[in-house]
Chains A and B, each alone.
Chain A
Amino acid sequence: MEVLRTEALTINFGGLKAVNEVDFVIGDEVVGLIGPNGSGKTTFLNLVSGIYRATSGHVHFMQEDITDCAPHEVRSKGIARTFQTNRLCLNLSVLDNMLLGLHSRQKSTWWQAIFQPSRCQQELEDNIERCFEVLAHFNPELIDKRYEPVSKIPLIDRRRIEIARAIVGEPKLLLLDEPTAGLNTEETMEMIDDIGRLRESKMKVSIIIIEHDMAVISRISQRVVVLNAGRKIAEGTFEEVSQNEEVRTAYLGG
């Protein structure tokens, strides 16, 4: 089943084609997105999640054209993401960050918040339970720290919270931008296991993961797509891609 497809997706920054006619497909799988620095990986995610507007080309999600959707619409349709530089709301508590991930699935309005608080309380309690379930998947200790501001939480847990926040709303597609950046080897492996286990749990989530660490990529992804200077230069299994001449020169030359 096809989850996301891009057709000749392109964006121009001045003269620079940061993403250049990229055709990309993902089904029910984990796809690794790799490429040298500045090859357009993050920009590609920004295009898919609606933060950048494509110069040309199309993005289809679950058979629907979402090329011109705003970021919040993309999220509501079921695409969640994390950021390369961990981006949590530092002032807010662990739990509040998690609840933000459920924003698009909540129904209560400001009107109900003022005039029907018991109804909102019901929804809130269910949501908190849901957040605890997901936090427990990554690190149960975070449940005890739920009311601490994220600014007091160590980096590895912040990375976990960011993924937990993305996953808590049960998206169909998860975009991870270097989820292990800044972690040591041991923490990296732990993180990758946690991400891998997401697919074993009941929610069926497809994942696009950007990673520099090839050991990680080979371990977690079923398929790899390689970008270089905004173009897709190869795709296939990790073995196939790592044999590819163009990929080798891109990495050595890049």
Chain B
Amino acid sequence: MKTKINGTNGKIISLATSLGVCLALYICLVSSLTAALLILALGLGLIIYGERKDSIEQVYLSVEKNKPIVLGIIVLFVLVLPFLLHKNNYLLHVVVMAGIYAIVALGLNFQVGSTGMVNFAPAALFGAGAYVSAIAAVKFGISPWLGILLGMVGAALLGLIFGFPALKTRGYYLSLVTIALQIIFTQMIVNTAWLGGPNGIPGIPPYELAGFSFKQSLKILGLTIPYQINYIYLTFIFLGLTALAASRLYTSRTGLAWNAIEQDEIVAATQGINLTKEKLLAFALGAAFAGVAGALYAHYTSFIGYEDFDFSKSLILICMVLLGGMDNVSGVTLGAILLTIIDEKLRDFADYRMLMYSVILITILITRSQGLLPKRTRKYKEKSTGMPCVGQTVTMGGESSGSLKN
């Protein structure tokens, strides 16, 4: 460390960082694919430069120290965003989807990033939340608000079931088992008439608050803003809550236990960590996140079908975690938002969409296997100093290059 960060300096750094990230995301959103990729490359360049100069840790520290500033900027950005985009329903829709996928990715990260268990079925867990909440509303007239809770519990239970193979298998075997579970899930939906079968479930009611339907557009200051604005706010409130929960778990005893399991199961067990309990917990909690996101998705789109939750969706979700940076809450959130935007921009390519998508991903993962914001060593608030002190970014995590951790 060459310079010690003092108060004002830290404030400026955190202000600049949060503004920069918000601005970059905004430009990615509104501009063409080429521009978005350029921004991504530029951002990555900055991160790598920061790591070389050892200043990335200062940025992390400033951000941690000045959380109110950073959160303030982000909240402001999300509040203002719908007004900037009010003429473009489609972009507003992309923002909602980015928020929803970010919640799923944060949950998936518990398994893939923290605990090192591959899970190729996150879309099934996401779908479980969506179907539970949708069926509850359409067939039983249960309030969509309660549906969020039901979707969360339903997905968590399915997550527990999905977690059982992880107790016995790892690596390739676990990959195969979770792929199979994903396929079973899709097939089960297609073949169950009660769940709408191949036709899906139409007419899912929107959320309502004191007589105000979320499908109604908002009129503020003479501007008419499409109904997506309601869902942007709703989704990002949930994203905020889940991100908070995820970062609290990360610094907790549970998060540390998950990391220990990822590193060495025998060592973890001999430190008193109950492998069965912790692995199932990583699946159930992650699935609960996916369930919440699924419920939001169902009542947002008002129609769900099996193809929203199939294997290719699972792959995209895994890529979000990989691209963002495993076990880094900000990284995963950023990765999910970026990939949602890029994925939507690729719609112009129609048939070549998946191909382009893969090319972009392969390029990113070859040049930067550890993701945008890689895993760091934890900093804790200590008794005497009161503030975390300077640590280091773990560089060796990248040795496992591109490939999935088993």
Contacts and interface: CB of A to CB of B under 8 A. Distances in A.
Contacts of A196: none
Interface in A88-147: 88-93, 95-96, 99-101, 103-106, 108-110, 113-114, 117, 120-121, 124-125, 128-129, 147
B345 interface: no
Contact of B253 (A83, A90, A113): A113
Contacts of A5: none
A110 B396 contact: no
Interface stretch (B146-154, B193-201, B272-280, B358-366): B272-280
Given A96-B377, A103-B253, A113-B253, A91 B394 contact: yes
Contacts of A165: 271
A103 B392 contact: no
B250 to A, nearest CB: 9
B377 A72 contact: no
A91 B285 contact: no
B392 A148 contact: yes
A51 interface: yes
Contacts of B383: 125, 128-129
Contacts of A100: 256-257, 260, 267-268, 271, 273
A140 B86 CA distance: 59
A106 B272 CA distance: 10
Contacts of A110: 249, 252, 254, 281, 285
Interface in A45-86: 49-51, 70-72, 74-76, 80-81, 83
Contacts of A91: 259, 263, 375, 394, 396-397
A51 B268 CA distance: 11
Given A92-B377, A104-B271, A147-B390, A114 B382 contact: no
Contacts of B285: 110
B259 A95 contact: no
B245 interface: yes
Contacts of A74: 270
B355 interface: no
Interface residues of B, number: 42
A121 B253 contact: no
B278 to A, nearest CB: 9
B348 interface: no
Interface residues of A, number: 47
Contact of A81 (B270, B375, B380): B270
B198 to A, nearest CB: 39
Contacts of A114: 245, 248-249
B269 interface: yes
B246 to A, nearest CB: 9
A93 B273 contact: no
A105 B271 CA distance: 10
Contacts of A32: none
A149 interface: yes
Contacts of B251: 113, 124
B379 interface: yes
A72 B275 contact: yes
B168 interface: no
9 contacts: A51-B270, A72-B269, A72-B274, A109-B254, A110-B249, A113-B249, A113-B254, A125-B381, A152-B392
Interface of A: 49-51, 70-72, 74-76, 80-81, 83, 87-93, 95-96, 99-101, 103-106, 108-110, 113-114, 117, 120-121, 124-125, 128-129, 147-149, 151-152, 165, 169
Interface of B: 245, 248-249, 251-257, 259-260, 263-264, 266-275, 281, 285, 375, 377-383, 388-392, 394, 396-397
> Shortest 10 CB-CB distances between A and B: which pairs?
A104-B272, A147-B391, A113-B252, A75-B272, A71-B269, A93-B377, A89-B263, A110-B254, A100-B271, A125-B383
